[in-house]
Amino acid sequence: MFMKHKRILLLFLPLFIAVISVVMLADLLRASETDAAASHGDLVVIADTTATMQPQLDALSAAWPGSVIPDNSQDRLFHLLQYKDAIRFEGSASSVQQFQNKLDELTAAGGGDCEDAMLQALAAAARGVPDSRALLLTDSAPKGGRRNLAFIMNKLVERGVNIYPLVSGWCDSSELSQTAMFSLARMTGGVAYIHEAGETDTAARSTFDMMAMQDTVLVDNASLDGVEIYPLELDSTATTLGVDDKPCRPTWCLTCTLAVQNETSLVQSTSEIKLMVKNPDGDLIEAGDPGVELLQTSGGTSYIIDVAQVYTPKSGEASATWVIIVQGSGDHVLNAVTDSGLHLEYYGKHTLPANKEQLVRASLVTEAASPAVVGSSVQFAMKHVMNGKVVAVDLFDDGQHGDGQAGDGIYGGPVAVRRGLWYLAARGELADGSSFERVHEVPIRVKGFKIGRPKDQQQVAGNSSTLRFQVTNDEANGPNQVSSKVYELSANSLLGWSSTDGVPDSIVLAPGETALIDVEVSVPQDAENGDIEETFLTVVESNDIGSSETLTVKTTVVDELMVYLPATVGK
């Protein structure tokens, strides 16, 4: 892993790489919403095009589209963003070849300081292409720090965008360490691939394949000393299996008070981690086997398996058990995904209060040609991201638990768990007798604080108002009394009308204590009727970026405010 130092600032750069203003960013986001209307499953490439990136850009183009996305893919759009010190939307394509042409045209040039506009590019993807999966290609760190990253993570989760970072370098001046990329991926439901610059072709092929498979069937973060065996039962709808393991573990301490300085290596195990897969006959899958692609770099190992080519089900066999084997010592992250006709969908917030019952709703969606889910067989659970603890939860499809109509395929029920990061998982049977397992890839963050937000408001051009947020340390509701907590704060503004000068960098709250945070919104005199300012407040528990939340308040410009006087009764 190489560190990236200051770049030479060229005097005559194209206009688009000037530092982008808030208003310019808002215009770009609106343009991308218009030009890149997304459907579920769209893919996005966000490419760093600064001067050092040409070999990685060429490798990315050579790797497209991997082996899982079909050449005649017509069920999704492909979108391209590039960034340096600012961002530019390069448009969308409806075919693999059209997008190939766009990737072929990417050129690296210019760039200023090492840190770039990565976070602005991620924000543009969140607003412009919701419900999508995005590959982020870079060899540098983002401008901004811990609170900025938490804000962007929260907006990506809110908009349903999974991020897959491909990182081949960093900046020695960055406030953030490279572990930020692991956390960015895990928090948004993607997979990080940190690798050497010469391995981008292989890393990109693996990432394109993993991105293309919609359904997660297994995820584990563990410390290994020896051999770990993972039985994996695949149902009849699974056509492709992707298994990926990396010798590293996400670290959530991105909001520590002390920044990581001069980090020169990845947070990885010092020992080699070996990944192996056996088919249901017990045969070890090898590179070169029909229907098998083995992709290896210094940053991890991936198997891409055509299920039908590798294994033929026995007569009367509805589902079969594959075996994943991880061998070695150290920390590792394992992901198994599949392209199938059965999808687990989660409805609701990805931030919930600790130890309080909250309505959780989910559904199991089957495609037209797939066998139906046997409703009575479905079981749900919450799995802790870091320690693997599994807590069974009762979700019902009976019309009596906030689930909608009985038998409509939507399950609901009250859930209360301790603070931490949790995956929602489901298992059961299909009508053909095969068993399934699914895990929703974006973790639910159960936190020990709460934010009270003011209502959305209307305002006349030229007027000002104050938005008052309330931040409460809610740890007193837990089974264990805790000491005071430090929370870091940041306020952001879409149009630049919100003054964030009065928002402190951090606050300290005892259990049960509340702080009032005021943000003033000043609507400019030339604002037009219908303009909407969005004011964001992000709260991050110190040392734990997994415990964060962003709330949004909208201010809409109107011609005049309606004033309602009390009714007069009699004289």
Residues 6+ apart with CB under 8 A from 503: 489, 490, 491, 517, 519, 537
**What would the pLDDT profile of 508-567 be if each residue is shown by its tens digit?**
999 999 999 999 999 999 999 999 999 999 999 987 888 899 999 999 999 887 655 566
Could you tell me the pTM of the whole model? 0.87
Helices (H) then strands (E): counts for the chain:
8, 32
Q: Do 428 and 319 meet the contact criterion of CB atoms below 8 Å apart?
A: no
Q: Is the Cβ–Cβ distance between 547 and 471 less than 8 Å? A: no
**What stretches in the chain show pLDDT beneath 50?**
1-40, 252-271, 571
What pLDDT score was predicted for residue 151?
93
Chain centroid to CA 353: 20
Give the model's pLDDT for residue 343: 95
Q: Provide the strand spans (E) within 348-456.
A: 351-353, 358-366, 379-384, 390-393, 410-415, 420-429, 435-439, 444-447, 449-452
Query: Is the bond into 313 cis (omega within 30 degrees of 0)?
Result: no
Alpha helix positions (H), 255-379: 307-310
145 in Cβ contact with 175 (< 8 Å) = yes
Q: What phi and psi values does residue 523 have, to the nearest 5 degrees?
A: -80, 125
Cα 506–Cα 121–Cα 335 angle in degrees, nearest 5: 85
pLDDT of 273: 85
> Among 505, 189, 562, which Cα is nearest to 346's?
189
Please state, in angstroms and rounded to a whole number, the distance separating the CA atoms of residues 75 and 72: 9
Q: What are the distances in angstroms from CA 290 to CA 63, 245, 325, 478, 556?
A: 20, 22, 20, 53, 59
What one-character-per-residue DSSP string does 35-84 give?
H----TTEEEEEEE-SGGGHHHHHHHHHHTTTTTS-TT--SS-EEEEEES
Instruction: Confirm if 272 and 246 have CB atoms less than 8 A apart.
Output: no
pLDDT given at position 74: 64
DSSP annotation of 476:
G
The tens digit of pLDDT for each residue in 385-402 reads: 888 899 999 999 999 999
**What is the C-alpha to C-alpha distance for residues 153 and 150, in angstroms, rounded to an integer?**
5
Q: How far apart are CA 93 and CA 104, in angstroms?
A: 13
CB 114 within 8 A of CB 140: yes
